[in-house]
Structure 1
Amino acid sequence: MVSLAQGVDSLNQSLSELRDIEVSFEFFPPSNEKMENMLWKSVERLAPLQPNYMSVTYGANSGERDKTHNVVKRIQNDIGIPAVPHLTCVDAQPDELRQIAKEYWANGIRRIVALRGDLPPGMDKPDMYASDLVTLLKDVADFDISVAAYPEKHPEAPNDQFDLLNLKRKAEAGANEAITQFFFDTTHYLRFRDRAAAAGIDIDIVPGILPVTNYQTLVKFAGFTNVHVPNWLHKMYDGLDDSDQTTRNLLAANIAMDQVKVLAREGVKHFHFYTLNRSELSYAICHMLGARPSN
């Protein structure tokens, strides 16, 4: 019988032997000067890890779109890391999307995260879905395309099989990578990966990792993204003073590190970090995975 200590030692030993781990990071456009300073401080801190790419989320209105474009161009041109813009289709016409895609390609952008996007109030059924956007982008240029995947089912999907078939449609349209919604129970991801393979989905399914720096924000996010927050996670944060950010950061790092240890041992080679525009925890986890500055 293997003891808990032996199991932990084995996990840490296998982690020390990892090779060829890849990482990527997600940021969002800043809304004020303070947030902008935090964003670029985080980008500059994480850039030496040589991530596969840095993605930037996409707002629905034109002002937010401009912010996304500006952040993407600066990451690509000034920081020297491949930049990947998010692009949604529920709030734009096909001709507009084609023009945006052409401009990105002309500026050296070679990957896009293609998403349907949140439905505006009063819209029951969009004209385009993510699979349609993938097709449109592939018609414009030979982009590498990432799409979203949901180990615990998209909130609007009627059942797991419907959701899985939707991912298959996106893959068949030309997507070559899926980034998952964040999760905390690693078995959800592993079962989802197995089910996707059984369904003939042969694209990379990259786990999205969210280090929990703010527990209340996490619970809010989880509520509208259909992410299960396990009881053990609730208990970890129970009783902590709201101002005790140091302890919260230690817990967040411990939880995320346990996740990536298990996933790495299960053969995962690429991890995508939802940074929330902060670098400390993502940097620490990447260091543990063996992602280090080249110098």
Structure 2
Amino acid sequence: MTINDTRLTISKIQSNIEELNNLYDERKYIYDLKLTPSKNENLELISLIQKTIQYFKFLESDINSDKSLLKDEELIREFEDSVDQYNQLYDNLSDDANIDITEYKYSYQRPVHTDSAINVNNNVHKSVRFKDAPDENDASELMGTRHNFKPYKDDPESIDDDEDDSPDEVSNHQMFAQHQQTMMRQDQDLENLHSSISRQYMMGQDINQELDDHLIILNDLEQGVDQSMSRLNVANRRIKNFRNLMRENGSLVTICTLTVILILLLVVLN
């Protein structure tokens, strides 16, 4: 893995830690409201912690196996700062009774690579100048007969091609690192897709609750309209009955009314 790939992975770790801090702040707000986080929220938090631990372990294996990465003090310091931020967040989440993150404890200790042993071995080899039995390679070198013989080929470029086709452990390690990076990117994409689907699921539940509330209101309105229609029908029937009575007995009522008026006039005039 190159230094740029390592820094890219560290930036992903920083992004995950920032998202974890946001989730932790949301959980604090939920607890302040005397509420309990949902199961989906707990699963989302655990999944993000697992992803961060995978990044840490992957980077640790690469850093410890590559001396060029160990010599980059700025890179190591960024990685150790990320570990410290995660451990601080881990300590805060350890008091949460709704999740168990004891298995996600992580610590990093920089391996100590000293060149003293290598220098001592080199000095020992340099101090020994005479051997009881001369080596064939040394003898060949002294006689001027030590050469790197290669088989003759008509096309000299094919020799270079054969040399390039030799197995290279560094290239294999790079291929493995690229494969791991691809898998991590795919996991990150799946994680983002999971978060998006979870948000859409929550939105769907909210819409369903709103529709249920509106349905209750519409049922009440329908019941009120039915009652009003019943009252209007009763009033219409009464008005119709009164109208029919007026049609049937209208003339009799008029005669009686005129008779009463005539009697009153006769009394008043007399």
Measured against the shorter chain, the TM-score band is under 0.3
- Larger RCO, structures 1/2 (Cα 8 Å, 6+ apart): 1
Q: Return the TM-score normalized by structure 2.
A: 0.20
Q: Which has the larger radius of gyration?
A: 2
Q: Return the TM-score normalized by structure 1.
A: 0.19
